[in-house]
Structure 1
Amino acid sequence: MDSVLGGSRHNSQIAAGMRIAIVHDWCPDFRGGERVLAELCKLFKTAEVFTLFDFLPDEIKQQHFAGVTFHTSIANRIPKVRKFYRALFPICPLLIEQFDVTQYDAVISSSAAYARGVLTRPDQPHLCYVHSPIRYAWDEQFSYLQQGNLGFGPKGLLFRYLMHRLRLWDTRTAHGPDLMLANSSYVRARIRRVYGLDARVVFPPVDVDEAALCTDKDDYYVTAAFLAPYKRTDLVIDAFNAMPTRKLLVVGDGQQAAKLKDRAGPNISFAGYLPRAEYIEAVSRARALVFAGCEDFGIALAEAQAYGTPLIAFARGGAMDIVRPLGRTGEPTGVLFEHQSVQSVIDAVKRFDVNAEQIQPLACRKNAMRFNPERFAREIYSAFAATMSMHEPSGIDAHVNQIAAE
Structure 2
Amino acid sequence: MDNAHRLAPAGVDCSRPLVDSSALEHLRSAAKGLRVAIVHDWLVTRGGAEKVLQAFLRAFPQAHVFTLVDSLADAERAWLGKHPVTTSFLQRMPLAKRHYRYYLPLMPAAVARFNVADYDLVISSSHAVAKGIPTHSNQAHICYCHTPMRYAWDMREGYLQDAGWQGPKAWLARYSLHRLRQWDLTTAAHVDHFWANSNNVKARIDNYYHREAEVLYPPVDVDALTVNEGERDDFYLAASRLVPYKRLDLIIEAFRAMPDKRLVVIGNGPDRKRLEALAEGASNIELLGYREDAVLHDYLRRARAFVFAADEDFGILPLEAQASGTPVIAYGSGGALETVRAPESQHDPAATGIFFDTHTPDSLRDAVASFETRRFDPSACRHNAERFSHSVFWRRTQTLLTHAGLVATPS
TM-score by length of 2: 0.89
Letter in 1 for 2:321: A
1:346 aligns with 2:361: no
Name 1:52's counterpart in structure 2. 68
How far residue 306 of structure 1 moved from its aligned partner, in angstroms, is: 0.3
1:99 to 107, 114, 120: 114
Q: Which has the higher helix share?
A: 1
Tell me the CA shift for residue 68 of structure 1: 0.6
**1:314 aligned residue (327, 331, 346):** 331
Asked if 2 retains the 8 angstrom alpha-carbon contact of 1:325 and 1:332, the reply is: yes
- In terms of mean alpha carbon deviation, does 78-87 or 23-32 score higher? 78-87
The amino acid of 1:378's aligned partner reads R
Q: Which of the pair has the greater relative contact order for Cα pairs under 8 Å at 6+ separation?
A: 2
Q: CA deviation at 1:379?
A: 1.1
1:156–1:347 CA distance, 2 compared to 1 (3 A): farther
Q: Tell me whether 1:126 sits opposite 2:141 in the alignment.
A: yes
Aligned-pair distance for 1:19?
1.4
Distance 1:165 1:364 in 2: 44
Count of residue correspondences: 386
Aligned counterparts of 2:167 and 2:36: Cα–Cα separation in 1? 46
Within a 5 Å distance, the mapping from 1:155-170 to structure 2 comes to: 155-170=169-184
Instruction: Write the letter of the residue equivalent to 2:155.
Output: E
Residue number among 82, 85, 97 corresponding to 1:67 in the alignment: 82
Q: CA RMSD in A?
A: 1.9
User: Residues 405, 230 of structure 1: CA spacing in aligned structure 2 closer, same or farther, 3 A cutoff?
Assistant: closer
**Structure 1 counterpart of 2:369, which letter?**
K
Cα displacement string for residues 167-208 of structure 1 (whole angstroms, at most 9, x for unaligned residues):
101000012221111101111111111111111111101000
Asked if the contact 2:314/2:334 (under 8 Å) is kept, the reply is yes
Which residue number in structure 1 is paired with residue 319 of structure 2?
A: 302
Residue 124 (structure 2) pairs with residue 140 (structure 1):
no
Deviation at 1:60, TM superposition (A): 3.4
Out of 111, 116, 120, the position equivalent to 2:131 is: 116
Match of 1:332 among 351, 359, 371: 351
**Structure 1 equivalent of residue 7 of structure 2:** none
| C-alpha spacing 1:155/1:343, structure 2 compared with 1 (3 Å) | farther
d(CA) in 2 for partners of 1:250, 1:148: 25
Which of these residues, 239, 251, 254, is aligned with residue 239 of structure 1? 254
Does structure 2 retain, via aligned residues, the 8 Å contact 1:108–1:126?
A: yes
Which residue number corresponds to residue 33 of structure 1? 49
* Runs (5+) with no aligned partner, structure 2: 1-10, 12-19
Q: Judge conservation of contact 1:127–1:384 (CA < 8 Å) in 2.
A: no
Q: 1:202: which partner in 2? A: 216
Give per-residue Cα distances to partners, 1:61-98, cap 9 Å, x unaligned. 33x22211100112112354222111111111110111
TM-aligned CA deviation for residue 158 of structure 1: 2.7
Which residue of 304, 309, 321 maps to 1:287?
Answer: 304
Is the contact between residue 182 and residue 188 of structure 1 (CA under 8 Å) also seen in structure 2? yes
Instruction: Report deviation, 1:368.
Output: 0.3
Q: Greater shift after overlay, 74-83 or 269-278?
A: 74-83
Q: CA deviation at 1:147?
A: 4.1
Task: Report the Cα distance in structure 2 between the residues aligned to 1:167 and 1:340, rounded to whole angstroms.
Answer: 27
Query: Normalization by structure 1: what TM-score?
Result: 0.90
CA gap 1:190/1:253 in 2 versus in 1, 3 angstroms? same
**Contact 1:144–1:230 (CA under 8 A) maintained in structure 2:** no
User: Partner amino acid for 1:45?
Assistant: P
Aligned partner of residue 121 in structure 1, secondary structure: coil
The alpha carbon displacement at 1:155 in A equals: 3.5
What is the DSSP-based 3-state SS (H/G/I as helix, E as strand, rest coil) of the residue aligned with 1:83?
A: coil
Could you tell me which runs of 5 or more consecutive residues in structure 1 were left unpaired when the two chains were aligned.
390-396
* 2:237 is the alignment partner of 1:222: yes
2:187 to 173, 176, 184: 173
Q: 2: distance between equivalents of 1:385 and 1:346?
A: 47
